[in-house]
Chains A and B, each alone.
Chain A
Amino acid sequence: MMNGMPILTLLTVLPIVGAGIALVSGRHARLVAMLTTLAGLAISLVVWTHLPADGSMGFVERAAWAPSLGIEYHLGADGLSAIMLVLSSIVALMSIDASHRVHRQPNLYFALVLLLEAGLFGSFTAQNFFHWFLFWELSLIPAFFLIKLWGGAKRGPAATQFFVYTMAGSVSLLIAFLGVFLATGSMDFEHLTLLASTGELAQMVTAHLGNVMPWLALGVLAGFAVKTPLMPFHTWLPAAYSEAPSPVTMLLTGAMSKMGVYGLLRIAVPLFGHEYSVMRTPLLVLAVITVVMGAWAAAAQKDLKRVFAYSSVNHLGYCLLAIFALAVPATSTAMQNSQAAALNGVILQMFNHGVTAAALFWFIALIQERSGGIRGIDDFGGLRKPAPVFAGLMGIALFSSLGLPGLNGFPGEFLIFRGVFPLAWVAATVSVLGLLITAAVILTVIQKVFAGPVPERWSGENSSGFADLHTGERLALAPVIGLMLLIGILPQLIVDGVNPTVMNLLAHWRF
Chain B
Amino acid sequence: MIEQVAGFAPQTASGIAQLLWLIPAVPIVAAGLIALLKRPRRKLAARLAIGSLVFSLLLALCAFVHVISGWAAGHAVRETVNFTWVQFGTATIDLGWVLDPLSAVMLVMVTFVGLLIFIYSIGYMEHDENFTRFFCFLALFAGAMLGVVIANSLLLLFICWELVGLTSYLLIGFWYHKPSAAAAAKKAFLTTRVGDIFFFLGIVWLFSQTGTLLFYNNGVGSMEPVALGGLVSAHAALGLSAATVIGLLLFAGAVGKSGQLPLHVWLPDAMEGPTPVSALIHAATMVAAGVYLIARVYPLMQAGAGTSLTVVTWVGAATAVFAALIAVAQNDIKRILAYSTVSQLGYMMAGLGLGGVAVGIFHLITHAFFKALLFLGAGAVIHGCHEEQDIRKMGGLRKEMKITFLTYAIAMLALSGFPLLFSGFWSKDAILEAAKQSSGSKGPFYLLAFGAVLTAFYMMRQVSYVFFGKWRGHGHAHESPRVMTTPLAILAFFAIALGAIGTPAWPWFRGFLEDRSVSFELAKFGEPSFLALLATSTVIVFVGLGLGWLLYGNKSPEPEERDVLEKAAPPVWAALANRLYVDELYGVTFIAFYAWWARVADWMDRHVWGGIVALVTVIFGLLARFNRFFDNEWINGGFDKSCEELYSGGGMAARAQSGRVQTYLRILALGVVVLVVILIWSSRG
- A and B interact physically: yes
Say yes or no: is B490 at the interface (Cβ < 8 Å to chain A). no
Say yes or no: is A156 at the interface (Cβ < 8 Å to chain B). yes
Chain B residue numbers with a CB within 8 Å of A406 are 159, 162-163
Complex CA–CA separation, A232 to B194 (angstroms) = 28
Cβ–Cβ contact A297 & B601, under 8 A: yes
Chain B residue numbers with a CB within 8 Å of A68 are 680, 683
Cβ–Cβ contact B177 & A453, under 8 A: yes
Cβ–Cβ contact B598 & A296, under 8 A: yes
Chain A residue numbers with a CB within 8 Å of B179 are 451-453
Which of A296, A339, A417 is close to B597, meaning CB atoms less than 8 Å apart?
Answer: A296
Cβ–Cβ contact B89 & A341, under 8 A: yes
Segment of A46-54, A193-201, A492-500 in the binding face: A492-500
Say yes or no: is A70 at the interface (Cβ < 8 Å to chain B). yes
Least distance between B641 CB and chain A CB atoms (Å)? 11
Say yes or no: is A469 at the interface (Cβ < 8 Å to chain B). no
Chain B residue numbers with a CB within 8 Å of A296 are 597-598, 600-601
Chain A residue numbers with a CB within 8 Å of B661 are 141
Complex CA–CA separation, A492 to B86 (angstroms) = 5
A residues 63-90 in Cβ contact with B at 8 Å: 68-71
Beta-carbon nearest neighbor of B605 in chain A: A297
Which of A108, A297, A415, A439 is close to B88, meaning CB atoms less than 8 Å apart?
Answer: A415
Cβ–Cβ contact A340 & B89, under 8 A: yes
Cβ–Cβ contact B601 & A447, under 8 A: no
Chain A residue numbers with a CB within 8 Å of B664 are 141
Beta-carbon nearest neighbor of B613 in chain A: A235
Chain A residue numbers with a CB within 8 Å of B193 are 435-436, 439
Cβ–Cβ contact A499 & B678, under 8 A: no
Complex CA–CA separation, A240 to B599 (angstroms) = 21
Say yes or no: is B71 at the interface (Cβ < 8 Å to chain A). no
Interface size of B in residues (CB-CB distance below 8 Å): 77
Cβ–Cβ contact A341 & B88, under 8 A: yes
Chain A residue numbers with a CB within 8 Å of B643 are 145, 148-149
Complex CA–CA separation, A337 to B211 (angstroms) = 10
- Chain B 62-95 against A: per-residue CB contact (8 Å), 1 yes, 0 no? 0000000000000000000000011111110000
Least distance between A79 CB and chain B CB atoms (Å)? 12
B residues 203-250 in Cβ contact with A at 8 Å: 204-205, 207-208, 211
Say yes or no: is A100 at the interface (Cβ < 8 Å to chain B). no
Chain B residue numbers with a CB within 8 Å of A495 are 86-88
Complex CA–CA separation, A339 to B208 (angstroms) = 11
Say yes or no: is A432 at the interface (Cβ < 8 Å to chain B). yes
Which of B166, B598, B651 is close to A399, meaning CB atoms less than 8 Å apart?
Answer: B166
Complex CA–CA separation, A370 to B166 (angstroms) = 28
Say yes or no: is A262 at the interface (Cβ < 8 Å to chain B). no
Chain B residue numbers with a CB within 8 Å of A108 are 646, 650-651, 655
Cβ–Cβ contact B682 & A185, under 8 A: yes
Cβ–Cβ contact A382 & B176, under 8 A: yes
Chain A residue numbers with a CB within 8 Å of B612 are 232, 235
Chain A residue numbers with a CB within 8 Å of B35 are 392
Say yes or no: is A384 at the interface (Cβ < 8 Å to chain B). yes
Which of A238, A384, A422, A447 is close to B186, meaning CB atoms less than 8 Å apart?
Answer: A447
Least distance between B650 CB and chain A CB atoms (Å)? 5
Which of A71, A299, A392, A451 is close to B182, meaning CB atoms less than 8 Å apart?
Answer: A451
- Chain B 648-679 against A: per-residue CB contact (8 Å), 1 yes, 0 no? 00111001000011001001100100011011
B residues 171-196 in Cβ contact with A at 8 Å: 173, 176-179, 181-183, 185-186, 189-190, 193-194
Cβ–Cβ contact B594 & A440, under 8 A: yes
Say yes or no: is B604 at the interface (Cβ < 8 Å to chain A). yes
Say yes or no: is B630 at the interface (Cβ < 8 Å to chain A). no
Say yes or no: is B622 at the interface (Cβ < 8 Å to chain A). no
Cβ–Cβ contact B177 & A385, under 8 A: yes
Least distance between A173 CB and chain B CB atoms (Å)? 12
Chain A residue numbers with a CB within 8 Å of B671 are 171, 174
Say yes or no: is B640 at the interface (Cβ < 8 Å to chain A). yes
Least distance between B495 CB and chain A CB atoms (Å)? 35
Least distance between B57 CB and chain A CB atoms (Å)? 24
Complex CA–CA separation, A55 to B213 (angstroms) = 27
Least distance between B177 CB and chain A CB atoms (Å)? 6
Say yes or no: is A56 at the interface (Cβ < 8 Å to chain B). no
Least distance between A49 CB and chain B CB atoms (Å)? 18
Which of A340, A432, A447 is close to B197, meaning CB atoms less than 8 Å apart?
Answer: A432
Chosen A-B contacts, 25 in total, with CB atoms closer than 8 Å, are A69-B676, A160-B617, A178-B675, A182-B682, A234-B609, A235-B612, A235-B613, A293-B601, A299-B594, A301-B602, A337-B89, A337-B90, A337-B91, A340-B88, A344-B89, A406-B159, A418-B204, A421-B201, A422-B208, A432-B197, A435-B197, A440-B594, A452-B178, A495-B86, A503-B89
* Other contacts beyond A418-B204, A451-B173: 11, CB < 8 A: A23-B652, A108-B646, A181-B679, A297-B602, A344-B89, A406-B162, A411-B86, A435-B200, A436-B194, A454-B177, A491-B85
Closest 9 pairs (CB-CB, A-B): A340-B89, A451-B182, A300-B602, A405-B159, A299-B598, A296-B601, A297-B601, A300-B598, A422-B208
Binding site for A on B (CB under 8 A): 35, 85-91, 155, 158-160, 162-163, 166, 169, 173, 176-179, 181-183, 185-186, 189-190, 193-194, 197, 200-201, 204-205, 207-208, 211, 594-595, 597-602, 604-605, 608-610, 612-613, 616-617, 620, 640, 643, 646-647, 650-652, 655, 660-661, 664, 667-668, 671, 675-676, 678-680, 682-683
